[in-house]
Structure 1
């Protein structure tokens, strides 16, 4: 059925303009190769307000990636590889943040962790199939790169861009390497199958549709519509709608973790955001709603970023029956003579959370983030990012906390 759906999608768009073949323009394995090293210094401080042990970690990451070109000919062959190293600068037993560093048997964080991976790839025209260790970024399978080291997956992914504006993806993955664990698949992912694509209907309208199936966890559908209305060069209105529908497998630990009973649990969650941009300023209002037998579960084999919803910051506002509203503001200081400097503020409040028979709870978050990227000079592209979340909840929804994350990143192009 999945292959049939893909075939129908291809046939339905066969009359659309084809893209010029990327493979025909290949210069060779080495000639088109790229090698980069990202230096990332990251600090994390989560201050719990309910007498819970705080989490504090500081580390230095070295993230090296190599992307070869493709050999010339009808079928191009290439490879990708990466090497990761994270070095502990500060942390300790009782305050280690587990998404930064794994722990020893005595509870102390490791001094460093490392991992290497590689993938082989083939290209025909504008279609690439890749097998091995990789960083998928799809609405139903998205690796997490929001801490010290990135998450990675092992499997096969086919990406086709034969038709202008249309991208199709089909994949199967059988390994999940978390951010703070050098093991190849410590969570023992059985398999996740993904199928879907996105299409740019016009310069201002994009649509997406995806399906995934995580063995013994859940089956999921995702859809998105993004519509932009430009009023002028300095003024625009954007609407972004996202929806996930999930059918949990019987006995799924994911369903049980989010309020289900493990028996044919289902869930629907959607968000609608309206963003008005006026010069350097942007104002956003969003509503997100969750219904069904359980909350919206993710990162059970589909990655820590598999939640393409408007109200996702520290909290994801994805609990059982939760409804949430967001108001946010963004400022681009380029208009005021400071290109590369940006600020964002958001306030999100969720309510009507099902926390047990006849009982509901609520949660709220205040989010602030300042980022700056150097635009020129010898340290061009050096970036700084500081984000803060103030989170409060009631009625057993979650512990109150204040969180700070700080990142300094410097990308180096080696090849």
Structure 2
């Protein structure tokens, strides 16, 4: 037994030393991303009164559009680990954003830059955070302000600055085909927040409704081969609801540079503890089937919500459903939706780094008549017979070489239309983004 334990410790120590790399200073990496984003949203059919415009202003002063233009700088520093059986390190980040155009009359639901307590526009953001980390072999514990990427708790980076979280995360990659994670978080910093001392973000829950202040999760991803991966997580928002997640990706290679792929996502949520948000009993699933031939990819998606409340999630990016789009998640009570999608890589036509895409999503069958009237979702105002559609167009170009290598340009157009029972906004969106990364990588 002693020999076995000694051999095991020796193997663990050897793997830990092998994982050290160059050390605390030698493995330190830094990265700076500059980004400028312009967005314009037109609110159609009188929706300026439904949160589209600055709700702090008298209704007569609200215009029918929102518009913001900002510039942001995001810097990150990730150290290596100190030598030894247990290695220690530190990660740090700092973000700065300034308004280039936007005022009290034009701030709305874009959430690019902050507003004050009365809802009026602010000029900028300056914030940062630090996380300490420790490593044994291929297992790392990170404690502090950080970004997380899982199907149940995930940072969004779809605006000017990214979202971050406050808590601890344990990630283990001891096996080549398996990644395991366990985490506990007590706060999250929204993309437009000025500071980091904020409670957890729950997307669809009434802001005035009580909710849990701790989010726990555990799970992992198994990659059995280059064409197959399976993911499973369990999570809990304390005294509010618990969620289980199953995901699968499978690709079938075909001759002549063709492939058929399938992406399945399933979320199962149920109220727990004191059920602060009211009764929750929701199963939401999506399946995206894609066919690729050379530079072309065509996708057909299906999604279904089974439950009297909408599918909800903590943090802005923790929705991996196939039909969650730019302007709507298609997640209303009892909603069913489908999507048609097309993407093309223009490198085949002599334009490497250029890609284009289009998507059309249509949802129907929404029934909010059984939303618990005293729960945290009654405020959304879903009716019966709700339906809506969204269409998105996008173009992205990234410089592939030369002094401007990495410079990226993104153009997006989106439009969302609904009937009154669907309860979201009728809107038309144009977003233009330019970003340029520099770093030690």
TM-score by length of 2: 0.84
- Of 50, 73, 77, the match for 2:84: 73
Q: Tell me, in whole angstroms, the C-alpha distance in 2 between the residues paired with 1:238 and 1:45.
A: 35
Q: Deviations over 1:304-339 (max 9, x none)?
A: 111111101121100000000001100100111101
Going by fraction, where is strand more abundant, 1 or 2? 1
Task: Please show how residues 10-409 of structure 1 align to structure 2 within 5 Å.
Answer: 21=15, 23-25=17-19, 26-51=21-46, 52=48, 53=53, 54-97=65-108, 99-105=111-117, 107-187=119-199, 190-232=213-255, 234-249=257-272, 262-263=278-279, 265-298=280-313, 302-313=314-325, 314-356=327-369, 359-397=384-422, 398-409=424-435
Contact 1:56/1:96 (8 A) holds in 2: yes
Unaligned runs of 5+ in 1: 1-17, 256-261
Query: SS of the residue aligned with 1:161?
Result: strand
RMSD: 1.8
Query: SS of the residue aligned with 1:287?
Result: strand
State the shift of 1:303 in Å: 1.1
Q: What is the total number of aligned residue pairs between the two structures?
A: 386
Q: Deviations over 1:370-399 (max 9, x none)?
A: 000000110001000111111100133122
Contact 1:45/1:56 (8 A) holds in 2: yes
Query: SS of the residue aligned with 2:22?
Result: coil
Contact 1:370/1:386 (8 A) holds in 2: yes
Unaligned runs of 5+ in 2: 1-11, 54-64, 201-211, 371-382
Q: Deviations over 1:161-203 (max 9, x none)?
A: 0011100000101111111112223336611101000001122
Contact 1:55/1:95 (8 A) holds in 2: yes
Runs of 4+ aligned residues of structure 1 deviating over 3 Å after TM superposition are 20-23, 249-253
Q: Could you say if the C-alpha distance between residues 138 and 23 of structure 1 is closer, same or farther in structure 2, counting changes exceeding 3 Å?
A: farther
Contact 1:220/1:247 (8 A) holds in 2: yes
Q: Deviations over 1:231-261 (max 9, x none)?
A: 13611000110000001347756x5xxxxxx
Q: Tell me, in whole angstroms, the C-alpha distance in 1 between the residues paired with 2:134 and 2:198.
A: 29
Contact 1:37/1:414 (8 A) holds in 2: no
Q: Could you say if the C-alpha distance between residues 187 and 88 of structure 1 is closer, same or farther in structure 2, counting changes exceeding 3 Å?
A: same
Q: Deviations over 1:43-84 (max 9, x none)?
A: 111110023132211100000000001111211110000001
Q: Which moved more, 1:63-72 or 1:52-61?
A: 52-61
Q: Tell me, in whole angstroms, the C-alpha distance in 1 between the residues paired with 2:401 and 2:126.
A: 32
Q: Tell me, in whole angstroms, the C-alpha distance in 1 between the residues paired with 2:34 and 2:256.
A: 36
Q: Could you say if the C-alpha distance between residues 252 and 112 of structure 1 is closer, same or farther in structure 2, counting changes exceeding 3 Å?
A: farther
Partner of 1:259: none
